[in-house]
A and B are shown apart, each in its own frame.
Chain A
């Protein structure tokens, strides 16, 4: 039907994305047009005038948007060959993005609202390394995007034995369909409940309520200015809004399934996204347990995948915290199953931990009891926190480097901190304020363990 839905094969000229991409990008122009209209609010123009202006501005924005989108679409092509995916784009400034398969970290499918209405999807490809590590290909039909993802993931997994072009495509698509044992879903009530009971949300909400109360007291009793705390209140509300977006809206209808290469996550209310996290690309996992979740034995799993944690650039950085969420909320059994799926050899509960000794109370008067670090044959584990208990897990095979740190106060108390570095992301394996000897031994052994893990991999 469309150029994009032909079978994907090697072809020097390359494929085009879906022509309707032009329309999707026009959404933004429409929004811009609508924003430009805002200044007319409050002017004393008639309804009729307003309608005419609105028609002209919005129509013009739409035309411009579609026009630009169409030109961009015409100049965008992608090529899949034996060693890399290449995306050529740009009208004035030509750009050619190359994605070598072995550097590919994960491939996600995202459906922003505008694209979702038209049944289109965007492919987001994360590569290792700093700078522009994310490459997007927009937009394809949903089925094309899924097929292309299978091809890319297949090729990235078989570094040593390149897949023959063409033939395995059908197979991999079948495998994706059949091997989909569902591991976990999150009901919406639990999602909302978990947010309401989370330490971050409760604290923010409590401060917001206090702010309102303080304002009321100030205005009614003292007769002060009514909006003294307005900036603080707005900041708190926006923090809560971000929490709701990250924890509820973007995790809506969450499901995690077993995929041939690792696990697949589908989530999102307005814009759906479908992430595949390949098993070999998991750099670390952290388990978080806020205070009030403990009565339900709930926990959250976040994951480090190179590329997800990169900050600063990108079209929608707001999606990154959500993308790093492996499981928004789950009980012990489900979380254990997901952990076992991605780190088959890891058993964080069985690792013998070095606890921080009592002098560390100078750094953490309450939390020092929960500070600990340790390692077994497969993973390095650190624990911390009392309001939100947290366990960070880094497999030895993924250890980037190891650091030992000691500040002046730590030196006086005979303490030291050991850190196992993993690629940038939410996982921070820091064994803080341990006994100096323990820290030194942990760091030295970690080097040895990481070395043997790299050899046997």
Chain B
């Protein structure tokens, strides 16, 4: 981690580890769904045993990689509420830090798909007049997501800078 992507003050608030669990669950499910039928087909058509085992080996490899990726990706996310700006950091290979002054808020979205809801997390997105801002924070616990949305909306109104 380079110092360039540290917050100006304090530490990053990390997102919920449920995000990591979600990514891992999805990865394992995809691996299983792809590998299992492939193995069954190979066994039925009666190829060599090592060939029948190949999908399982590959799936295990992919799953292991996804397992550690989920952990790194989770650690890449972070946000900080400063006095005047919301800071969001993301990414491991492609690092990004975006700072949005509260007064620039146009609107705040909270989104939670069925899977995210099952893990009790939601994504908060802060929109400004620029679509490049893309300040979204996935993996917030549902209560924290609501709190953050309310706070951002409130701060956005009290510091509204117009356009």
Residues of A within 8 A of B (CB): 102, 105, 128-130, 281, 283, 306, 398-408, 411, 416, 419, 421-424, 436-437, 439-440, 443-444, 447, 450-451, 454, 457
Apart from A400-B129, A403-B98, A407-B94: 13 A-B pairs, beta carbons within 8 A: A102-B162, A128-B129, A130-B131, A399-B104, A401-B98, A401-B101, A401-B128, A406-B96, A407-B93, A411-B95, A421-B132, A437-B4, A454-B103
Q: How far is the CA of A437 from the CA of B2 in the complex (A)?
A: 11
The one of B103, B131, B163 that contacts A128, using a Cβ cutoff of 8 Å:
B163
* Number of A-B residue pairs with CB-CB distance less than 8 Å in the complex they form: 94
CB-defined contacts of A440 to chain B, threshold 8 Å: 3-4
CB-defined contacts of A419 to chain B, threshold 8 Å: 132
**Would you mind naming 24 contact pairs between A and B with Cβ atoms under 8 Å apart?**
A306-B163, A398-B163, A399-B104, A400-B100, A400-B104, A400-B130, A401-B99, A401-B130, A401-B133, A403-B98, A404-B97, A404-B98, A405-B95, A406-B2, A408-B94, A411-B95, A421-B130, A421-B132, A421-B133, A436-B2, A436-B4, A444-B8, A447-B99, A447-B101
Q: How far is the CA of A396 from the CA of B5 in the complex (A)?
A: 22
CB-defined contacts of A416 to chain B, threshold 8 Å: 4
Nearest B residue to A423 by beta-carbon distance?
Answer: B129
Cβ-based interface call for B73 (8 A): no
Nearest A residue to B127 by beta-carbon distance?
Answer: A130
Chain B residues 92 to 147 lying within 8 A of chain A, measured CB to CB, are: 93-101, 103-104, 106, 128-133, 135
Nearest A residue to B104 by beta-carbon distance?
Answer: A400
Q: How far is the CA of A138 from the CA of B50 in the complex (A)?
A: 73
**CB–CB B4/A450 < 8 A:** no
Cβ-based interface call for B161 (8 A): yes
Cβ-based interface call for B157 (8 A): no
CB-defined contacts of A130 to chain B, threshold 8 Å: 131
Q: How far is the CA of A203 from the CA of B150 in the complex (A)?
A: 52
Residues of B within 8 A of A (CB): 2-5, 8, 84-85, 93-101, 103-104, 106, 128-133, 135, 161-163
**CB–CB A406/B133 < 8 A:** no
Q: How far is the CA of A72 from the CA of B48 in the complex (A)?
A: 74
Nearest A residue to B135 by beta-carbon distance?
Answer: A401
The one of B5, B93, B94, B131 that contacts A424, using a Cβ cutoff of 8 Å:
B131
Q: How far is the CA of A338 from the CA of B85 in the complex (A)?
A: 33
B84, chain A: closest CB distance, angstroms: 6
CB-defined contacts of B84 to chain A, threshold 8 Å: 447, 451
The one of B5, B100, B162 that contacts A401, using a Cβ cutoff of 8 Å:
B100
Q: How far is the CA of A443 from the CA of B99 in the complex (A)?
A: 9
Q: How far is the CA of A440 from the CA of B101 in the complex (A)?
A: 17
Nearest B residue to A414 by beta-carbon distance?
Answer: B2
Nearest B residue to A159 by beta-carbon distance?
Answer: B162
CB-defined contacts of A399 to chain B, threshold 8 Å: 101, 104
CB-defined contacts of A422 to chain B, threshold 8 Å: 130
Q: How far is the CA of A406 from the CA of B98 in the complex (A)?
A: 12
Q: Which 5 A-B pairs have the closest CB atoms?
A: A421-B130, A400-B130, A401-B100, A403-B98, A423-B129
CB-defined contacts of A404 to chain B, threshold 8 Å: 4-5, 96-98
Q: How far is the CA of A457 from the CA of B147 in the complex (A)?
A: 31
A158, chain B: closest CB distance, angstroms: 14
